[in-house]
Amino acid sequence: MSSTTTEDRADESPPSLWDWGLKVAASVGLAGMLCCVAPAVLFAVGLMGGIYAISFADLFYAPDGSAGLGAWLLRGVAALVGLVGTWLYHRRQNQCSIDPARKRKNLALFALLVVVLGTGFYLSFEELTSWYFNEYIVPAQQAEYESMSGT
């Protein structure tokens, strides 16, 4: 007496290329920019001050402002997130009984989608956090320094 539920049938359907692609690409972009997104969000909700937010972000960059070891490690983590997401999509896709040629095409499209959208998310997060740091965090940092010096 085994009955299939709606949930069981949903697991048998092929994974959505766009849903998975957007989720993995957003994860890739966020993982690559965690050094700047995390302090910006923590500052925005009031859990971190300007001085600490900039100090946290500076841990990932060289003194001249170029990407340091930490930034490259986060980019490596982002690439790993993309690879794992692609592998999980491929595994999920193999559970379905669709044409092997279609599976290969979908996997190639998925990988392209993750690369293009992941890079887009990364660059968008970079631009947004740069603006946010310049507009809100740097002035707060300067105000904190001024209040500490007593002027």
- Higher-confidence position of 2 and 99: 99
Total residue length of the chain: 151
Per residue in 8-38, pLDDT (tens digit) is 445 567 788 899 999 999 999 999 999 999 9
Query: Per-domain residue ranges for the chain?
Result: 16-149
- pLDDT tier, 97 (very low <50, low <70, confident <90, very high otherwise): low
Other beta carbons within 10 Å of 94: 13
Name the residue among 30, 125, 29, 28 with its Cα closest to residue 86: 28
- pLDDT tier, 2 (very low <50, low <70, confident <90, very high otherwise): very low
Per residue in 106-148, pLDDT (tens digit) is 999 999 999 999 999 999 999 999 999 999 999 999 999 999 8
pTM: predicted TM-score of the whole model, two decimal places = 0.81
